[in-house]
Chains A and B, each alone.
Chain A
């Protein structure tokens, strides 16, 4: 629960979604669905996640799948935090 809230907060902040992010839940689609969510945004979000949580993301892990939905991204963060 906590992780998904943090992930939504980071998405909102980095993509400057404002109020729109308050509607987000695990099923919200990201990459290819939100206009702001282009490849530059992927990089910014990964950077913010790394800085906030203190883990390192490998290139191989940056895939379209991970960024498919808010839920997928949160699961990814949880996996990183557990490893």
Chain B
């Protein structure tokens, strides 16, 4: 049964990205409520992307009901877009986001915001800082504060894989040295062929310094395990810096499971509600 307020069906497209075709699905907003503009979703890195598909899908549906369209793009080298993972580059991904914004613009959709999760939030903030006039808002879900820390967490999969095999020798430092050895070879980590250029770019990315270039409203969401628990110290430090620097930052802490880091698919309904509430009152 289709409720009357259901949003129009999703529309798949290929968008021309800087390095090749990008597979994208546009989820148009419901026409039953005021048009709230669009968001481009910037997904997290590697395995976290797979774990969080469900949350992204649920949020997209809730946004459509709230009158907000969503463009879900597979970044170059991922999903059904062109290229292999070893062809992926941070700069290409930034270009992919710009291409997605251009695509919305060409359809007359001019109120464009970015919404990113974890490393995707770091990427979204970078894209917004690069072209602040293009985007009217940025929504950050549990952003990676430091790309270096995020990359370490990812590389550890390979380190930990050696643990049971009695091989406690390989470290993330060794893996970084292999990225930097100049041979330019990708390293396979958890089934992903990670190119050294991408690893280096993620390693160098920090969210803190982007603040001064973000002139648009920023909504930063942190998920905590229980009510009253403070968000991560590293996040609070950036909040303070940004507030002192005049960044129009709104922060919120919601209770939920760490769905980007759980072994099985998890969801955080409070995060979806809080995010949709940015676009007007929740539906009765």
Contacts and interface: CB of A to CB of B under 8 A. Distances in A.
Interface of A: 9-10, 13-16, 31-32, 36, 38-44, 46-48, 50-52, 54, 56, 59-60, 62-64, 67
Given A13-B225, A43-B153, A62-B163, A36 B263 contact: yes
Consensus secondary structure, chain A interface? helix
Consensus secondary structure, chain B interface? loop
Contacts of A47: 153, 156, 261
A32 B264 CA distance: 19
B163 A39 contact: yes
Contacts of B264: 16
Contacts of A9: 225-226
Given A43-B156, A59-B173, A60-B171, A52 B164 contact: no
A50 B31 CA distance: 44
A40 B160 CA distance: 7
A39 B157 contact: yes
A13 B234 contact: no
Contacts of A59: 156, 159, 171-173
B163 A63 contact: yes
Interface string B158-193: 011111100010011100000000000000001000
B232 interface: yes
Contacts of A46: 153, 156
A39 B164 contact: yes
A64 B168 CA distance: 8
Contacts, number: 76
13 contacts: A13-B257, A14-B262, A16-B266, A38-B164, A39-B160, A39-B164, A44-B262, A54-B234, A56-B149, A59-B173, A64-B163, A64-B164, A67-B163
A38 B162 CA distance: 11
Contacts of B47: 40
Contacts of A14: 258, 261-263
B233 interface: yes
A62 B156 contact: yes
B261 to A, nearest CB: 5
Given A44-B262, A44-B263, A51-B232, A32 B164 contact: yes
A42 B157 CA distance: 8
Nearest to A36: B263
Given A13-B258, A41-B263, A43-B156, A54 B232 contact: yes
A15 B168 contact: no
A61 to B, nearest CB: 10
Contacts of B225: 9-10, 13, 52
A48 B160 CA distance: 15
B261 A44 contact: yes
A9 B232 CA distance: 16
Given A13-B225, A14-B258, A39-B160, 20 more contacts: A9-B226, A10-B225, A13-B257, A15-B263, A16-B263, A16-B266, A40-B190, A42-B156, A43-B153, A46-B156, A47-B156, A52-B225, A54-B232, A59-B156, A59-B173, A62-B156, A62-B159, A62-B163, A63-B163, A64-B164
A63 B163 CA distance: 7
Interface in B238-279: 257-258, 261-264, 266
